[in-house]
Amino acid sequence: MEARLLIAVPRPLRTLLTYTYPATAQITLGCRVAVPLGHGRSIGLVIALAENAASTPYQLKPIKALLDQEPLLDAHLLEFLQWAARYYHHAIGEVIFSAIPNALRAGRPLPQVLTWQAIPTPDAAAQLKRAKRQAELYQWLSQQTEPSSAQAIHTQLGASWRPILAALVDKGLVAENLSPTRIQRSSLGKLTPKLVLSEQQQACLLQCETWMQASTLQPILLQGVTGSGKTEIYLRLIETYLARGQQTLILVPEIGLTPQLVQRFSDHFPEQQISCLHSGLNDTERLQAWMDARSGQADIVIGTRSAVFTAFADLGLIIIDEEHDTSFKQQEGFRYHGRDLAIKRAQMLNIPILLGTATPALETLQNADQGRYHYLRLEQRPGKARPPSLEVQDIRGQHLHSGLSKLSLQAIQRSLERNEQAMLFINRRGFAPMLLCPACGWLAHCPACSANMTYHARKNRIICHHCGADERAEAACPACQNPQLITQGQGTERIELVLQQYFPETPVVRIDRDTTSRKGSLERHLETVRNTERLLLVGTQMLAKGHDFPNLTLVVILDVDAALLSSEYHALERFGQLFTQVAGRSGRSNKAGHVILQTTQPQHPKLLTLLHTGYLAFARQLIEERKQWQFPPFSYQALIRAEAAEMDQALQYLEQLRLSIPAQAGVFLMGPVPAPLEKRAERYRAQLLIQAESRQLRHLCLNYLTNQEKNSPNQKSLRWSIDIDPVELS
DNA sequence: AGCACGCCGACT
DNA sequence: GTCGGCGTGCTC
Quick one: pLDDT at residue A186? 34
Domain-ending residue, one of A178, A210, A233:
A178
Span CA (A11) to C1' (B1), Å = 5
Cβ of residue A716 lies below 7 Å from strand B: no
Mean pLDDT of A324-348: 96
Cβ of residue A714 lies below 7 Å from strand C: yes
Cα A295 to Cα A61, A266, A625: the distances in Å are 34, 20, 48
For chain A, what's the residue count?
730
CB A299 within 8 A of CB A269: yes
Quick one: pLDDT at residue A682? 84
- Of the pLDDT bands very low, low, confident and very high (cuts 50, 70, 90), residue A522 is confident
pLDDT tens digits, residue range A27-73? Answer: 889 999 999 999 889 999 999 998 777 777 788 999 999 999 899 99
Query: Nearest nucleotide to A333 by CA–C1' distance?
Result: B1
Quick one: pLDDT at residue A518? 78
Cβ of residue A8 lies below 7 Å from strand C: no
Quick one: pLDDT at residue A165? 52
Domain-ending residue, one of A45, A75, A105:
A105
DSSP assigned state of A107: -
Same-domain pairing of A610 and A497:
yes
Span CA (A507) to C1' (B12), Å = 67
- Among A77-91, A278-292, A325-339, A359-373, where is mean pLDDT lowest? A278-292
Quick one: pLDDT at residue A711? 59
pTM over 0.85: yes
pLDDT tens digits, residue range A344-383? Answer: 999 999 999 999 999 999 999 999 999 999 999 998 766 6
* Average pLDDT for chain A: 85
Which residues face A673 on adjacent strands?
A: A687
In a domain, A154, yes or no: yes
Domain-ending residue, one of A58, A81, A105:
A105
Domain of residue A118, residue span: 114-178
Please check the confidence at residue A188 and state whether its pLDDT lies above 90.
Answer: no
Span CA (A643) to C1' (B5), Å = 26
Cβ of residue A397 lies below 7 Å from strand B: no
Please report, for the domain that includes residue A710, its CATH number. 3.30.70.360
Same-domain pairing of A370 and A228:
yes
Cβ of residue A15 lies below 7 Å from strand C: yes
* Residues placed in the known binding site of A: 437, 440, 446, 449, 464, 467, 477, 480
Quick one: pLDDT at residue A372? 97
In a domain, A449, yes or no: no
Same-domain pairing of A699 and A551:
no
- Among A380-394, A402-416, A428-442, A589-603, where is mean pLDDT lowest? A380-394
- Among A113-117, A248-252, A591-595, A636-640, where is mean pLDDT lowest? A113-117
Please check the confidence at residue A724 and state whether its pLDDT lies above 90.
Answer: yes
Cα A286 to Cα A279, A283, A290, A322, A657: the distances in Å are 9, 5, 6, 23, 40
Cα A592 to Cα A379, A414, A467, A526: the distances in Å are 18, 13, 43, 22
A84 vs A708: which has the higher pLDDT? A84
Span CA (A41) to C1' (B10), Å = 35
Q: Is A577 exposed, middle or buried (0-12, 13-18, 19+ CB in 10 A)?
A: buried
Span CA (A13) to C1' (C4), Å = 29
Span CA (A66) to C1' (C12), Å = 17
In a domain, A461, yes or no: no
- CB < 7 Å to strand C — which of 56-75 in chain A? 56, 58-61
A682 vs A640: which has the higher pLDDT? A640
In a domain, A573, yes or no: yes
Please check the confidence at residue A153 and state whether its pLDDT lies above 50.
Answer: no
Query: Nearest nucleotide to A37 by CA–C1' distance?
Result: C11
Same-domain pairing of A87 and A137:
no
Same-domain pairing of A609 and A704:
no
Same-domain pairing of A18 and A154:
no
In a domain, A629, yes or no: no
A117 vs A584: which has the higher pLDDT? A584
Cβ of residue A717 lies below 7 Å from strand C: yes
Same-domain pairing of A318 and A269:
yes
Same-domain pairing of A592 and A504:
yes
Highest mean pLDDT among A178-192, A315-329, A700-714: A315-329
Span CA (A680) to C1' (B6), Å = 31
A189 vs A628: which has the higher pLDDT? A628
The angle that helices A230-243 and A199-213 make with each other, rounded to 10 degrees, is: 40
Helix (H) or strand (E) holding A80: helix A75-87
Query: Nearest nucleotide to A50 by CA–C1' distance?
Result: C12
Closest protein CA to C1' of nucleotide B4, residue: A39
Whole-number percent of chain A with pLDDT over 70: 86
Query: Nearest nucleotide to A40 by CA–C1' distance?
Result: B3
- The sheet carrying A389-394 orders its strands as A389-394, A594-599, A552-557, A421-425, A536-539, A508-511
Quick one: pLDDT at residue A175? 44
Please check the confidence at residue A619 and state whether its pLDDT lies above 80.
Answer: yes
Mean pLDDT of A235-260: 87
Quote the distance between the C-alpha of residue A680 and its chain's center.
Answer: 24
Q: Which nucleotides of B are covered by protein (CB under 7 A)?
A: 1-5
Q: Which nucleotides of C are covered by protein (CB under 7 A)?
A: 7-12
Number of domain units in chain A:
5
Same-domain pairing of A349 and A312:
yes
- Of the pLDDT bands very low, low, confident and very high (cuts 50, 70, 90), residue A531 is confident
Please check the confidence at residue A316 and state whether its pLDDT lies above 80.
Answer: yes
In a domain, A183, yes or no: no
Quick one: pLDDT at residue A707? 80
Cβ of residue A645 lies below 7 Å from strand C: no
Rg (CA), chain A: 28
Please check the confidence at residue A146 and state whether its pLDDT lies above 60.
Answer: no
Same-domain pairing of A242 and A358:
yes
A605 vs A113: which has the higher pLDDT? A605
Please report, for the domain that includes residue A323, its CATH number. 3.40.50.300
Cβ of residue A333 lies below 7 Å from strand B: no
Residue whose C-alpha is closest to residue A438's, from A385, A494, A391, A477: A477
Please check the confidence at residue A104 and state whether its pLDDT lies above 60.
Answer: yes
Please check the confidence at residue A288 and state whether its pLDDT lies above 70.
Answer: yes
Cβ of residue A504 lies below 7 Å from strand B: no
Please check the confidence at residue A117 and state whether its pLDDT lies above 70.
Answer: no
Cβ of residue A14 lies below 7 Å from strand B: no
- CB < 7 Å to strand B — which of 36-55 in chain A? 38-40
Q: Is A254 left (phi over 0), alpha (psi -120 to 50) or beta?
A: beta
Q: Within 13 Å and on the Cβ side, how many CA atoms surround A265?
A: 28
Span CA (A590) to C1' (B2), Å = 61
Please check the confidence at residue A113 and state whether its pLDDT lies above 90.
Answer: no
Cβ of residue A11 lies below 7 Å from strand B: yes
Same-domain pairing of A599 and A701:
no
In a domain, A273, yes or no: yes
Mean pLDDT of A133-150: 49
* Residues placed in the known binding site of A for Zn(2+): 437, 440, 446, 449, 464, 467, 477, 480
Same-domain pairing of A49 and A87:
yes
Mean pLDDT of A558-582: 91
Quick one: pLDDT at residue A58? 82
Residue whose C-alpha is closest to residue A15's, from A132, A95, A114: A95
Quick one: pLDDT at residue A150? 43
Dump the DSSP string for A482-535. -S--EEES--HHHHHHHHHHH-TTS-EEEESHHHH-STTHHHHHHHHHHH-SS-
Cβ of residue A12 lies below 7 Å from strand B: yes
Query: Nearest nucleotide to A42 by CA–C1' distance?
Result: B2
Cβ of residue A714 lies below 7 Å from strand B: no
In a domain, A475, yes or no: no
